[in-house]
Amino acid sequence: MEAILDKNQLPRHVAIIMDGNGRWAKSRNLPRAEGHRRGALAARAAVEECLALGIAELTLYAFSRENWSRPAEEVNFLFRLLVEFINKELSALETQGVRLMVIGEEEGLPGYARKALTLARERTVGNSRMILNLALNYSGREEIARACRLYMESGAPAAACDCASLTGYLYTAGRPDPDLVIRTSGEKRISNFLLFQTAYSELYFCDTLWPDFSAADLHKALHDYAGRIRRFGGLTKH
């Protein structure tokens, strides 16, 4: 039987690299699209569970800048799936108190996806129970470069540019860094995800392929996190 999760030891912000949709499909002789479709269901389940646990912020890596190199058919499918997800879930997200936000270069997204995202953001702007961040057309390195550009454009002196001032120009400005980053499918990389914000995040890797990632898998990650001692570069308190 699973031990009870101590609410005081839960992360405030969980970020997930949802990996393994393609392998999930391949192992079942299904098209990759089916892996993504099941991946979207797993994403919905993760949102539900984080909500039930009272986690304040969930960031999902849904489309990286590097994902454009995939076949156009797969890229188109992913954006259609995203819009389908928003259309299907928006009312529920709205009533559940979820605020939808986006990180990444939105200008580069297909028009119909931008439209759906804008509507979802507007409809949920007043919600505060949980923030659901979708990382779309996202690159951590590009986000840092963009923050530097914005800082310079603000007219502030280069000599005054420090980490705190750059933080204000990130997509995540004003919001807490992830406490826990989960990556599924056995890969142990950060893949250009939240490079600035994960400086002191706890990392958790599991072999489960994303479409199979369940509430039980999330609980396992959270138990693991609860057992970590976070030092933020300082000494361990004994």
Looking at this protein, which amino acid is placed at residue 56? Answer: A
19: annotated active-site residue: yes
Identify which of residues 60 and 101 has a Cβ nearer to ligand FPP in the complex: 60
Residue 197's nearest CA partner among 228, 182, 176 is 176
Identify which of residues 82 and 222 has a Cβ nearer to ligand FPP in the complex: 82
Told to check if 138 binds ligand FPP by CB under 6 A, we report: no
The distance of closest approach from Cβ of residue 34 to ligand FPP in the complex, given in angstroms and rounded to an integer, is: 11
Contacts of 201 (CB under 8 A, 6+ apart): 15, 177, 178, 179, 180, 181, 194
The distance of closest approach from Cβ of residue 78 to ligand FPP in the complex, given in angstroms and rounded to an integer, is: 6
Q: Which of 19, 57, 179, 202 binds ligand FPP (CB under 6 A)?
A: 19
Report the C-alpha gap between 91 and 125 in whole angstroms: 13
Told to check if 18 binds ligand FPP by CB under 6 A, we report: yes
139 phi and psi, to 5 degrees? -145, 125
Q: Which of 14, 15, 16, 36 binds ligand FPP (CB under 6 A)?
A: 36
21: annotated active-site residue: no
Pairing verdict, β 57-64 and 130-138: parallel
Looking only at residues 95 through 134 of this chain, which bind ligand FPP when binding is defined by CB under 6 A? 134
Told to check if 140 binds ligand FPP by CB under 6 A, we report: no
Q: Which of 14, 16, 40, 93 binds ligand FPP (CB under 6 A)?
A: 40
Q: Which of 6, 67, 133, 179 is catalytic?
A: 67
Secondary structure of 11-40 in the HEC alphabet?
CCEEEEECCCHHHHHHCCCCCHHHHHHHHH
Report the C-alpha gap between 151 and 176 in whole angstroms: 20
Contacts of 2 (CB under 8 A, 6+ apart): 216, 219, 223
Q: How many residues bind ligand FPP (CB under 6 A)?
A: 19
Residues that bind ligand FPP (CB under 6 A): 18-23, 36, 39-40, 43, 60, 62, 67, 78, 81-82, 85, 134, 210
